[in-house]
Every structure is written in structure tokens, then in C-alpha cells.
Amino acid sequence: MNAFWIATIGTSVIAFALKFSGHSMPQHWLENPKLQRVNALIPIALLSALVAVQTFTSQSKVMIDHRLAGLSVAIIALFLKAPFPVVVLSAAATSAAIYNWL
């Protein structure tokens, strides 16, 4: 068995242990208001990090290109309270237009 399979099986065991420990946690710990506030913010932080990485990096290099323009248009559309499909389409159209222009 090579290192790849050892790492795969090891991470699978760790993932199972984490999921099992989450289901085994006492209910009164989960009802803590501070924990609930933190849990509400975790998806926002993860999505923000994903957007930042996908917008500003390419092949492990920091780059500023057409994706930044698309993100900027999406942020403006969100501030104007545009519906989600309009936000996505306007960002995609802007990014594609600048990509084809450059």
C-alpha cells in the first residue's frame, strides 16, 4: 500500500470521527447562543474565502484580471438589491466581455 492510499484511508477515518463526534455532542452545548452565532457566520466566511481565492488567484499566483470586474459588477448589483439571477448574469456578461476585449 503506497502513501496515497494511507492518506486517503486516514483522512476518511478522521472525517468519520469528526462527523460521529458532532452527532454525539450533548444538546445543551449546541443551544449555547454564542455557538449558534458563530455557526451562522461560518458559511459566510467560507464562501467569502472561496470567492476571494477564485477571483484573485490563478495557478498559485495572485492575478487581477477580468474576474475582478465581474465580481465588482456583482457587488454593485447586490447593493442595488437586484435578483440573484440578474447578479450572476451581469457578472458573467461583464467578465466575458472584458475577457474577449483583452
Give residue-wise pLDDT tens across range 13-69: 999 999 999 888 888 888 889 989 998 999 999 999 999 999 999 888 888 899 999
Does 24 share its domain with 36?
no
Same domain, 24 and 41: no
Structural domain range at position 77: 29-101
Could you give the angle at the alpha carbon of 68 between the alpha carbons of 43 and 92, nearest 5°? 80
Domain count within the chain: 2
Question: Cell 452527532 appears where?
Answer: 23
- Joined together, the cell numbers standing for residue 88 give 450572476
Q: Say whether pLDDT at 96 is over 90.
A: yes
Strand partners, 58: 61
**Is the confidence at residue 91, as pLDDT, over 90?**
yes
pTM here is 0.64
Q: Are residues 49 and 20 in the same domain?
A: no
E strand residue ranges, the chain: 57-58, 61-62
